[in-house]
Structure 1
């Protein structure tokens, strides 16, 4: 029994100094208090009268001194269970566990002798600031294994799949051009994240702030409720691009070729600059591109940075593609067109009053060139 380290059954008979008297087949054995169970012993008297399996850890004085431990057996049994549990702890597995401890960043879940981390970001699709909002110590939870690392010693868990995925039909509920209302929940170097509903955040790039509002403005502080419209939807990447600019009440690309025929000169508002040039707004929801080659700047200057967001420009419509929702504009062509119109008008006005030795055409050309400088 002792040599083979086989478990023996015994009955806890009484408390004594430092532990318990255990009756094993008529023999008196001693079980230290710390060896009656795993963890802290809250109520030692609760074990009196109960029968358990023990492991003999010491046998001396010709069998007159017997020391036993239940904790040793419990540890071995827990290790065996944990080994079996590890075989099923693979990414995608759904398991039931018990909340063991809470931390500011999440909860450790006992999966049956193996602990996994349920990070606060994986507790719910809605925004959670404190794990106590969702779970409590001792609570049984259903979790999904999302990652196993370091030879199974680091296990990441999630509870999100227990809730409907709000991104499943996101394009139907938030189509491009639709209005939205939400709350600013986070700011970054490139924009603001707005929560439209629990689990759905969209990005407002700083270039899409209302004209005159810049990064750090009190009107866009965290917690502020805002309204705007949907610019882009990407369900596969779970991304929403938003704008706080004036909301388009109808599809601005409908009949766009009639409103903005090729060759028309219009005034636009600079939205933002990028590698291909300057994006400018013609009306709410309708943006066109002024390619770098079509922007008038001083030699050596970067065309995409020549004008600031909110600045007004006069451009000429060069091409319109309603299907792809693209429009090409030209600052150069607009200036040339305006100069030609001014040239013609001036020439007509001065046709009969030109200085001697200089034709009306030459005078108009000289004046136009002077203004161009």
Structure 2
């Protein structure tokens, strides 16, 4: 089995799939020599594909210096993760894995003891420290480098011969590729056309976002990160710039939603006739509609011994993988971004 890695920013877990040597290599990139305590857990994991039982092992450290070194090298961490994904050469079965830690999913260990499931992993590295500070550190460094302008208003977008011109309250920028992650009212306002017959905007709307792009094929070497910060108003998106000429415009506005109003908007979107390609709609209510993840169901699958882990994501088609982050798969955060990165490399 090839080495795989996933990374949960919202909990206290980095989970590794593969040989233990990779765990050590991961930390050696930060000049860290590990002194882990390794032991078997109270339960086994069943690999139903190969019909064998794998021992589940945990690697536990309380060395705060390890966390501090990673915390102060967030860009190095991200580079290592993407370099790793580029050479991992996952097959179809392996690329669909998802690791859910009991810390992040709040699923008690007793449930895991009874489960047989498609996805297995051999090693966990569990830290006392959480990774929220790491994400904030990444955010701070990106902002200082000028790659993200926070709370700048997008005034207008022009599509020229071979690039886009984006006018913001902080200046005018150019990009070869453009992806919009905006609420429907901002789409109408920015493009200066009455594109949608929308219900009146309501202050109780949830984080309703459209993913729109002129590109038909997925963008290569494209990384999209939703930062864990609330912006002040629905008219305050931030703009992300990338070396390959990609610009992402994102809005971040969270509040309550009204199911009737959401349904009305979804119906309006069906008649949308613009040059954009509508990739998906992201809000908690439409997420339920797309995936069936509600009540006793997750990811469109009924909870059972055989598919609990698999059920957390619905099957994604290649052409759908344009975006990563909380808005595309709500609640998955950086873990989702790292997993989804494999599809773009």
Q: TM-score range by the shorter chain?
A: under 0.3
Query: TM-score by structure 2 length?
Result: 0.22
Name the one with the larger helix percent.
2
Query: TM-score by structure 1 length?
Result: 0.20
